[in-house]
Amino acid sequence: MKTHTLSVGLIGYGMSGRNFHAPLIQATPGLELAAVVSGDADKVHADLPDMDVLAKPPALLARRDIDLVVIATPNETHYPLAKAALAAGKHLVIDKPFAVSLNEARRLRSQAEGAERLVSVFHNRRWDSDFLTLRALLEAGTLGRVVALESRLDRFRPTVTDRWRDHHQPGSGIWFDLGPHLLDQARVLFGMPRAILLELATVRNGAEVDDDFLCLLEYDGLRVTLQASSLVAEPTPRFRVHGTRGSYVKFGLDPQEAWLRAGRVPTPGWGDDPLAGRLTLAEGEGESPTGQAYPNLPGDWPDYYGGIAAALMQGAPPPVTLDEAMDVMSLLESGLDSYRQGRWLRLKEGNDLRRRLHAARR
């Protein structure tokens, strides 16, 4: 546990490293972005003129002043880079997904525990405005016993790119891109499901990998539907939730990703989503439900790195624990097994968090 400013090294300056990790690290008290690993120093210096840019990861890992390494590289490189960073004695943040297989994740977990190093996965959409709002509604019992939840992250990107995510390689495709976000959110709300069913599709002209998925999670008395597609032009609900006391529906995406891509940095008012959801509740027994706009809680992606700083400097629990990251990896892999076998796959260990959370609200 340290009390001084922590020096951070960022490996990767592509879309995620440049737009998400670098600005969030720089906005976090107690963290200092000290070096970036990139093959394009000019690109880094265009944004960060005084940054120390290293061409290869070993040069960063050899630096004794670096306390925390952030891995924001293609998914198939997460495991070898994390393994090397842990061997060098570094604490780690890994962009989602944790790894490209459950076996890789288990090896990293064992290594991290043996080295007594912090490892956390960047499941940043726990801090989306709409998700924080929904979580608060469920914890307050406003919707009663929830019986159905639909969660979607749709985009309209009809053109297949030349980026690694659109090519055949481990960890590519939309299931490993957006699946971790939706699975992690479902797990936070309801725990681990009893069973999972996954359908993958390749829908765009010229697509090589999955760019559309439908995933169902089975809980006691609850069905969770997770969907994402690259060919949806018409806006769809981000969340649609139904319970014994009413429903909540939210359109529109949390604005933080768009803001960071546009170069905005966290300031007062950060994370405010002006597009309210709609809450529909029965006013009383026998009365018709009445719908009303329901304002959002502010989103707070910066809270993730604030939690990392608190964990390393004050001994607080990390914002995303290894157990939670392992749960998401288990669901990712179980989903693929379900798809390959063409059937519901029952999970070995369900979790009764949802039953305990909502039993008193029936």
With a cut of 80, say whether residue 209 has pLDDT above it: yes
pLDDT band at 287 (very low <50, low <70, confident <90, very high): low
pLDDT band at 358 (very low <50, low <70, confident <90, very high): very low
pLDDT band at 22 (very low <50, low <70, confident <90, very high): very high
- Tell me the C-alpha distance between 319 and 310, whole Å: 9
Q: Phi and psi (nearest 5°) for 129? A: -60, -50
pLDDT score for 327: 98
- Tell me the C-alpha distance between 266 and 55, whole Å: 29
Domain with CATH 3.40.50.720 in the chain: 6-122
Single-letter code of the amino acid located at 157: R
- Tell me the C-alpha distance between 73 and 11, whole Å: 7
Q: Phi and psi (nearest 5°) for 203? A: -110, -20
| Domain spanning 6-122: CATH superfamily | NAD(P)-binding Rossmann-like Domain (3.40.50.720)
Mean pLDDT along residues 28-52 = 97
Q: At what angle do helices 179-190 and 322-341 cross, to 10 degrees?
A: 120
Mean pLDDT along residues 5-14 = 97
pLDDT score for 297: 97
Q: What is the pTM of this model?
A: 0.93
Q: Judge whether 238 and 216 are in contact, CB under 8 Å.
A: no
pLDDT in tens, 210-239: 999 999 999 999 999 999 999 999 999 999
What is the number of residues in the chain?
A: 362
Please give the biggest Cα pair distance in the chain. 69
pLDDT in tens, 83-132: 999 999 999 999 999 999 999 999 999 999 999 999 999 999 999 999 99
With a cut of 60, say whether residue 3 has pLDDT above it: no
pLDDT band at 269 (very low <50, low <70, confident <90, very high): confident
Among candidates 263, 295, 259, 209, which has minimal Cα distance to 47? 263
pLDDT band at 360 (very low <50, low <70, confident <90, very high): very low
- Residue 31 three-state SS: strand
Distances (CA, A) of 316 to 1, 28, 120, 184: 10, 16, 13, 21
CATH class assigned to 128-299+329-361: alpha beta
Mean pLDDT along residues 340-358 = 70
Distance between first and last Cα of the chain: 44
pLDDT in tens, 170-199: 989 999 999 999 999 999 999 999 999 999
Mean pLDDT of the chain: 93
With a cut of 60, say whether residue 67 has pLDDT above it: yes
Distances (CA, A) of 352 to 193, 325, 358: 9, 18, 10
